Structure 1
Amino acid sequence: MRSCSGWRRLLFCLPLVFLLPHLLSVMELHREPTMRDQHKKARNKFDHLVLGPAAGEGLPDRLQCQGVKALNKTHFSASSNRSYVAESIAFVTVFTVYNSSDISKTSGSSDVTTVGNSSYNKVERSIAILNVFINFIQVAMPKSNVIILTDPASDLSINRDKVSVYPIQGEYSRDKLMLQRIRSYIAFLERKLEDHSRDHMHNYIFVDSDIAVVNDLGQVFHDYPDFHLALTFRNNKQQPLNSGFIAVRGTYDGMSRAKVFLQQVLEVYISKYSGASRMLGDQLALAWVVLSDASFDAKRFAKAQPFLKDIKGASVLFLPCAMYNWTPPEGAGQFHGMPLDVKVVHFKGSRKRLMLESWNFFSSSPNIADMLCLILSSGRIKYDF
């Protein structure tokens, strides 16, 4: 009887052995759309700020926030009392207008973005970003000038104090813009070298127009008097250098050596990375020029401390991105917050809305530390720019 009972259990269980994988497959099939929907939802960009926990809680020398209220002070308040009057600085950026004829077609456009009380079409929001870029500079460094390098054919008119538009002939199409940016920098330095005897001397900081200067950068030229040009670095093996911030000392020697250095970067860009002319090619070329120096130790990129190194005949100051080119992280990933001594915030990629929202927030409550908490709490989200 016991034997017969065991056979009965076996015969009863056999169908389940064959049916179970099928049942699991059906369950997985029903679950897949949900997972796909979640993934699709995660990729969507938000049309409003989404606040989350501010990273870096409890870490020393990191901004501590409670919502959008700073619990400690950034170093801006201390350094703003220190004036670098001797350091005359001009910020230089490359900017051009695409489809400028569409400016008047905002009404009824399907590609309109609203931030606060303002609505922008695609062209207008680019101009809005440029204006916010200027706004931040004029708050943090009110004595500085802004120079916009642009296509002579571009319909660009900026009527702002201490801001000038500087046409430079070139290829400004979207696919060639990063390549043209280096060419424009070189052409600008060549003209300044020609005018050096007649021109008032400026130190130059070549930057992307999607950055916010939140502290005085005159300290770079004051505290490091021996460099010709400065680059920002991060601990990233593939792309250790970011081209969104390049400082050049405004002496004849500094501009000459910086121009030669950038010419070498341009040559490497064209010969090795021409396929990446729209994006990343300039950073890859920068890294190649630096790392091809046999005496350069790439391990220095692992520590976020400034250092000097002679590269290709120029004295190059390497500055950590954590302070001079800090970027809100998109999506997941290890992240240790915002340093209290951050000087530049770079709103790369889909962070452009965050740049406009940050300025709007600062305009209503002019506290740099609180604004940085807004950025820190919002920086992991993809927005609609």
Structure 2
Amino acid sequence: MGTWRGRRRPIFFFVLPLILFLPLIISVSKVYQNPSITQDLKRNDPKKSDHLVFGPAAGEGLPGRLQCQGLKAVNKIHSSRSYKGVQNRDDISFVTVYTVYNGSRESDSAKMNSKFSEVVTIGNNSYNKAERSMAILKAFIYFIQVSVPKSSVILLTDPSSEFTIRCEATILGIPGDYSRENLMLQRLKSYIAFLETRIQEHSSRLSSVHYIFTDSDIAVVDDLGHIFQKYPDFHVALTFRNNKDQPLNSGFIAVRGTPDGIYKAKVFLEEVVNVYSLKFLKASRMLGDQLALAWVVKSHLPSASVKFKRHEAFSHDLNGVSVLFLPCAMYNWTPPEGAGQFHGMPLDVQVVHFKGSRKRLMLESWSFYNSTSNMSDMLCLVLRSGRTKYDF
């Protein structure tokens, strides 16, 4: 009897959990067998969405901030076109580095090739990864054409890149290493090489052409010509924010188009590249340029961190180069990633930077503006866009 009972007890403990968990196993099986349920699960995945996620517009009730009712602006952004003398300004060229990565160069792995061919839909258009990149570049150019209609756009690229763009832009090949791991360093080197060509050609020009070096994921929402009129003495302009480790953003660098301005800008960027190569190559893929910029500025201006907290434009001589510091809140504003962050959008915003994972929002913004022709309403869409989990 004792032996019979000993054999029965293990069977009992095996059967009891099976009975208890059998309904759960069946329900899970039904979920995965039902396509509509699995689609709902994917749709509710917080990590990814196929549409904008709207929330309240940050800065409600605060003075000097854009106020919105839905996607309608209650007040309007301040236009710099009213600045005295801006109508008589010199020409401006926007310069950006752009290169093409195909599927094999991106990665040989099946995972990366699948990601490369992944298609997303924005409005009436569908894009794979390469098409999205080109669409963002076109939106960058379109915003410039609307806001600074008399300006030009120059694309610096790897001479081996093969791409065509049906927009008014000049493509200029600059030899170098444009691999993703080296792109931020190469971007600065391409800027320097471009400035060297301008120095050589400047003697044949009768008027000045000012240059604004930017990332290609920005939207210029107002005429930036007033910078060179309002601040007539700088050689180079940088944008700053109150950030201890990364106070300077390299996505916007303005250069005065005089012989002295171009030469001094080249000298300044060469110092940044030297510091980058010596100290920050380990951060070459993402942050090396910003860290190098901060190191150069702080080495010549120890009080820079204090000035960055004031959110006001200021100038300083850095080793013979007159550098103008402009607040990011106005010239390099980034859409918030959380409700209420940054206390809304300043009414004098000039540049919106869709950096990081905000690229989809840039395309959504251009599509919205293209259908409404109202920049302030478009900025309400940006301001209410909520967190960026929908972006790619």
Tell me the TM-score normalized by structure 1. 0.84
| C-alpha distance in structure 2 between counterparts of 1:124 and 1:177, whole Å | 20
Q: Which region of structure 1 is more displaced relative to structure 2, 375-384 or 67-76?
A: 375-384
Letter in 2 for 1:88: D
Tell me: CA distance 1:108–1:42, structure 2 relative to 1, closer, same or farther (3 Å): closer
2:153 corresponds to which residue?
146
Question: Which runs of at least 4 in structure 1 moved beyond 4 Å after TM superposition?
Answer: 80-83, 106-110
1:191 aligns to 2:197 (yes or no): yes
Q: Which runs of 5+ in 1 are unaligned?
A: 1-40
Map of 1:378 onto structure 2: 385
Q: Which secondary structure state, in structure 2, belongs to the residue aligned with residue 196 of structure 1?
A: helix
C-alpha distance in structure 2 between counterparts of 1:235 and 1:94, whole Å: 27
CA distance in 2, matches of 1:326, 1:108: 29
The residue correspondences of 1:216-255 to structure 2 (distance < 5 A) are 216-255=223-262
Tell me which of 53, 73, 77 is aligned to 1:74: 77
Q: How far apart in 2 are the matches of 1:349 and 1:122?
A: 15
Q: 1:216-275: per-residue Cα shift (whole Å, max 9, x none)?
A: 100100100000000000000010000000000000100101000000000010100000
1:310 aligned residue: 317
SS in 2 for 1:335: helix
CA distance in 2, matches of 1:108, 1:182: 29
Question: For the structure 1 residues 108 and 268, does the alpha-carbon distance in structure 2 shift closer, same or farther, using more than 3 Å as the test?
Answer: closer
Alignment partner, residue 63 of structure 2: 60
Q: Unpaired segments of 5 or more residues in structure 2?
A: 1-43, 106-112
Structure 1 position 285, deviation (Å): 0.2
| 1:384 Cα offset (Å) | 3.0
User: Is the CA contact (8 Å cut-off) linking 1:157 and 1:165 kept in structure 2?
Assistant: no
Alignment counterpart, residue 359 of structure 2, candidates 352, 358, 383: 352
Is 2:173 the partner of 1:167? yes
Distance 2:167 2:75 in 1: 34
Cα pair distance change 1:222/1:121, threshold 3 Å: same
Correspondence list, 1:1-385, <5 A: 44-76=47-79, 79=82, 83-99=86-102, 111-161=118-168, 163-199=169-205, 201-294=208-301, 296-331=303-338, 334-385=341-392
- Checking the alignment, whether the CA contact within 8 Å between 2:116 and 2:129 is kept in structure 1 is no
Report the alpha carbon displacement of residue 201 of structure 1 after superposing the two structures with TM. Answer: 2.7
Q: CA deviation at 1:295?
A: 5.1
State how far apart, in whole Å, the 2-side matches of 1:258 and 1:377 are.
38
Q: 1:294 to 1:212 in 2, by over 3 A?
A: closer
Q: Which residue of 2 aligns with 1:14?
A: none
- The one-letter code of the counterpart of 1:57 is E
Relative distance call for 1:60 and 1:118 in structure 2 (3 A) is: same
Q: 1:138 to 1:294 in 2, by over 3 A?
A: closer
Kept in 1, the 8 Å contact 2:58–2:339? The answer is no
Residues 187 and 77 of structure 1: is their aligned pair in 2 closer, same or farther, counting only changes over 3 Å? closer
Q: Does the C-alpha gap of structure 1 residues 208 and 379 become closer, same or farther in structure 2, counting only changes over 3 Å? A: farther
- 2-structure distance, mates of 1:377, 1:80: 29
- SS of residue matched to 1:165: strand
| Conservation of the 8 A alpha-carbon contact between 2:123 and 2:367 | yes
Mapped to 1, the partners of 2:114 and 2:295 lie a distance apart of 47
**Structure 1 counterpart SS, 2:300:** coil
Per the TM alignment, residue 73 of structure 1 is displaced from its structure 2 partner at its CA by 1.1
The structural deviation recorded for 1:118 is 0.7
Return the alpha-carbon distance in structure 1 between the equivalents of residues 266 and 80 of structure 2: 35
On the 8 A contact 2:80/2:224 being kept in 1, the answer is no
- Distance in 2 between the 1:184 and 1:245 partners? 15
State the alpha-carbon separation in 2 of the partners of residues 59 and 275 from structure 1: 42
What is the CA-CA distance between 1:329 and the residue it aligns to? 1.8
% of aligned pairs identical?
A: 65
Distance 1:81 1:111, change over 3 A: farther
Offset, 1:101: 8.5
| Contact 2:272–2:292 (Cα < 8 Å) also in 1 | yes
